[in-house]
């Protein structure tokens, strides 16, 4: 690392750094009227559209570990996790603001790498970086991203609309990000004990990718629009399937039956979980960070999703009094509990 060029941020100053990081921005959305460079950004959506806003704050040592997370991936993921929240409202993200606080440990080259990932995500998802703040911290890296999007008022899907007999659906597969994290943590321990040993990720590119470079389900929101399917409730999976199901049930004042056998788990996730002596179902239920969409649909909409390989029906909504339950592969019934990844308890 010593050989790589290192430019101190202090050589540029705050305004120089902002200029450097934003000089190549080209606004791609017509709604991005004024971007970086004034006191605030100005956005104008088509008349009748609603504005959707979400924000996330990520801190070094809690949400990411720079020993195994490349800065470019971190930038990418920081944007994606926010976009995921916009999609979870059945809305389309159009703009982001990015604020970072950095200690003098970070060089211009390091921060440029972070922004490469940020811009890469913006390009892939068609959003504009329109503002932010760049400042210093006494220690570590902090990233705060706000995503802004648009939605037709009658398209908004909240957490509170699930009704009895609705089908509980999830996109993609679950648990991969968590098992990927276990693998990265193992290699970190090996590395700290002996920096000469090269990391052995065992060609587990899928689960490592799920952890380091998750994607938000833009495709599913577009599919809903095409199929004219409006879920009755929706949430994205950041904390783990069981925690998110409980959020939906609580907001909608309903219960649910979740079938273990129906939970989609990728083969690579399954096998690696067993290698770590972890129960694959527990990884899917409590692992989190999959950024898949969990949603409910009216029973009459089953035909629209039944043949879609990206959507699994994993259960159904019941009356509130019945509570939320997991029906295991052996047909045992357990109350569903949230043991999701809780940033505050980890801290």
Binding positions for a copy of itself, 278-337, rule CB under 8 A = none
Q: Is 116 exposed, middle or buried (0-12, 13-18, 19+ CB in 10 A)?
A: middle
Closest by alpha carbon to 318, among 299, 337, 339, 340? 299
Closest by alpha carbon to 171, among 215, 207, 225, 204? 215
In the list 29, 78, 142, 269, the residue contacting a copy of itself (rule: CB under 8 A) is 142
- Considering the rule CB under 8 A, would residue 345 count as an interface residue with a copy of itself? yes
Largest CA distance in the chain: 65
- Considering the rule CB under 8 A, would residue 29 count as an interface residue with a copy of itself? no
Supply φ then ψ for residue 111, to 5 degrees.
-70, -35
Query: Nearest approach, Cβ of 159 to a copy of itself (angstroms)?
Result: 5
Nearer to a copy of itself, 99 or 282 (CB): 99
Neighbours of 24 (CB within 10 A): 8
Nearer to a copy of itself, 10 or 205 (CB): 10
- Considering the rule CB under 8 A, would residue 146 count as an interface residue with a copy of itself? yes
- Considering the rule CB under 8 A, would residue 122 count as an interface residue with a copy of itself? no
Q: Is 32 helix (H, G, I), strand (E, B) or coil?
A: strand
Size of the site for a copy of itself (CB under 8 A): 77
In the list 25, 27, 103, 262, the residue contacting a copy of itself (rule: CB under 8 A) is 103
Q: Which of residues 83-102 bind a copy of itself (CB under 8 A)?
A: 85-86, 88-89, 91, 95, 97, 99-101
- Considering the rule CB under 8 A, would residue 104 count as an interface residue with a copy of itself? yes
Q: Could you tell me where the beta strands, DSSP code E, fall in 291-332?
A: 293-297, 311-318, 324-327
- Considering the rule CB under 8 A, would residue 37 count as an interface residue with a copy of itself? yes
Q: Which of residues 199-258 bind a copy of itself (CB under 8 A)?
A: 234-236, 251
In the list 3, 5, 24, 153, the residue contacting a copy of itself (rule: CB under 8 A) is 153
Nearer to a copy of itself, 66 or 201 (CB): 66
Question: What is the distance, to the nearest Å, from the Cα of residue 313 to the centroid of all Cα atoms in its chain?
Answer: 21
Nearer to a copy of itself, 77 or 281 (CB): 77
- Considering the rule CB under 8 A, would residue 192 count as an interface residue with a copy of itself? no
Long-range interactions of 328-337: CB distance < 8 A, separation 24+: 328/260, 329/260, 329/261, 336/242, 336/245, 336/246, 336/256, 336/258, 337/242, 337/246
In the list 6, 28, 33, 306, the residue contacting a copy of itself (rule: CB under 8 A) is 33
Beta pairing partners, 291: none
Supply φ then ψ for residue 145, to 5 degrees.
-120, 135
Q: Which of residues 50-69 bind a copy of itself (CB under 8 A)?
A: 50-63
Supply φ then ψ for residue 133, to 5 degrees.
-150, 145
Nearer to a copy of itself, 52 or 207 (CB): 52
DSSP state, 55?
Answer: E
- Considering the rule CB under 8 A, would residue 6 count as an interface residue with a copy of itself? no
- Considering the rule CB under 8 A, would residue 130 count as an interface residue with a copy of itself? yes
Nearer to a copy of itself, 148 or 317 (CB): 148
In the list 138, 196, 303, 307, the residue contacting a copy of itself (rule: CB under 8 A) is 138
Q: Is 11 helix (H, G, I), strand (E, B) or coil?
A: helix
DSSP state, 198?
Answer: P
- Considering the rule CB under 8 A, would residue 156 count as an interface residue with a copy of itself? yes
Nearer to a copy of itself, 37 or 299 (CB): 37
Task: Tell me how far apart the alpha carbons of residues 281 and 2 are, in angstroms, rounded to a whole number.
Answer: 44
Q: E strand or H helix at 142, and its extent? A: strand 142-151
Query: Nearest approach, Cβ of 330 to a copy of itself (angstroms)?
Result: 31
């Amino acid at each position: 690392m010593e050989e790589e060029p290192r430019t101190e941020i202090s050589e540029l100053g705050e305004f120089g750094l902002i200029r450097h990081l934003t000089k190549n921005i080209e606004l791609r959305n017509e709604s991005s009227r004024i971007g970086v460079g004034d006191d605030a950004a100005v956005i104008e959506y088509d008349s009748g559209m609603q504005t959707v806003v979400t924000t996330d704050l990520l801190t070094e040592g809690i949400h990411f570990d720079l020993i195994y997370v490349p800065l470019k991936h971190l930038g990418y993921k920081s944007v994606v996790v926010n976009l995921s929240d916009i999609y979870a409202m059945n809305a389309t993200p159009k703009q982001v603001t990015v604020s970072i606080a950095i200690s003098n440990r970070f060089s211009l080259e390091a921060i440029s790498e972070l922004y490469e990932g940020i811009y890469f995500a913006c390009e892939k998802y068609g959003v504009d970086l329109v503002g932010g703040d760049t400042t210093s911290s006494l220690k570590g890296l902090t990233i705060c991203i706000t995503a802004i999007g648009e939605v037709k008022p009658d398209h908004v899907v909240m957490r509170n609309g699930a009704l009895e007999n609705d089908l509980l659906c999830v996109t993609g597969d679950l648990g991969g990000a968590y098992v990927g994290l276990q693998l990265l943590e193992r290699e970190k321990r090996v590395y700290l004990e002996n920096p000469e040993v090269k990391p052995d990720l065992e060609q587990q590119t899928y689960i490592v990718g799920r952890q380091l470079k998750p994607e938000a389900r833009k495709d599913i929101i577009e599919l809903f629009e095409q199929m004219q399917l409006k879920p009755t409730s929706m949430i994205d999976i950041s904390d783990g399937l069981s925690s998110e199901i409980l959020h939906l049930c609580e907001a909608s004042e309903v219960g649910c039956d979740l079938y273990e056998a129906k939970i989609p788990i990728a083969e690579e996730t399954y096998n690696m979980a067993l290698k770590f002596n972890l129960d694959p179902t527990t990884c899917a239920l409590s692992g989190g960070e999959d950024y898949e969409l969990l949603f409910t649909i009216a029973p009459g909409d089953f035909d629209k999703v039944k043949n879609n390989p990206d959507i699994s029906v994993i259960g159904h909504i019941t009356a509130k009094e019945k509570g939320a339950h997991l029906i295991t592969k052996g047909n045992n019934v357990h109350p569903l509990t949230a043991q999701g990844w809780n940033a505050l308890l980890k801290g």
